Amino acid sequence: MLCFIHQSLLICYAFFGFFSAEPPVSAIKTVRHPLHLSSTELNYTLKDKTIQISCRIFTDDFEDALGKKFKVKSDLSAPARHKAMDALVMKYMLAAIHMSADGKPLLLNYIGFENDSEAVIIYMESDKVANLKKLETTSTVLYDLFDDQTNIFHVTFNGNRHSSKLSFPDKVFSAVF
């Protein structure tokens, strides 16, 4: 079986012309992934009574969105630019994601971001929410860049997980607990 996989990969490499160990720099910049997707985890913690948020976005897409919105050359992986990029990420995310609990708007606090391979993970947390019954989330993450953007949400509350997706132009989803 392993031999078959190796032969299949070799045929693919030969067919597509990828014999070099590393693609040329020009190919890296022009090859883009066709999938425009983000994934957001919303976890309600009973102990703190807050919603912890982590949003995973492809780095190249997010850099393009930041550059377009703020008219700057963004680089989320350069340690020397982390502080400057952190301010832009905060502004973008606090404008793109809004939440309400039981019909009342929630204040979101930006915590920071980190790089993870080909993605950026952004962390936020809500103010305290007591007796959460319904969570409504509005998201326009990367809607300013792609008209085929899909944002997937996973909400965990009291051990129960609800998942939903928003595809452009839909912006709002609700979870009832």
Tokens describing residue 154: 């996973």
Check pLDDT > 80 for residue 131.
yes
- Say whether 33 sits in a helix, a strand or coil: coil
How far apart CA 58 and CA 117 sit, in angstroms, is 9
Question: Does residue 8 sit within a domain?
Answer: no
pTM of the model: 0.80
Neighbours of 72 (CB within 10 A): 14
pLDDT at 19: 42
Is residue 102 in a domain? yes
Residue 127 confidence class, pLDDT cut points 50, 70, 90 = very high
How many domains is the chain partitioned into structurally? 1
Give domain status of residue 30, yes or no: no
- Those residues with Cβ within 8 angstroms of residue 168's Cβ, 6 or more apart along the chain or in another chain: 143, 146, 147, 148, 149, 150
Separation CA 156–CA 21 (nearest Å): 42
Interval 6-65: pLDDT, tens: 444 334 433 444 444 444 444 444 456 678 999 999 999 999 999 999 999 999 999 999
What is the pLDDT, as a whole number, of residue 35?
A: 86
Q: Is residue 159 assigned to a domain?
A: yes
Structural domain containing residue 112: 35-176
**Is residue 99 domain-resident?**
yes
Per the prediction, the chain carries an average pLDDT of 85
CB contact at 8 A, 97 and 124: yes
**Does residue 130 sit within a domain?**
yes
Q: Is residue 13 part of a domain?
A: no
Which of 143, 81, 157, 93 has the alpha carbon at shortest distance from 121?
Answer: 93
State residue 4's pLDDT score. Answer: 41
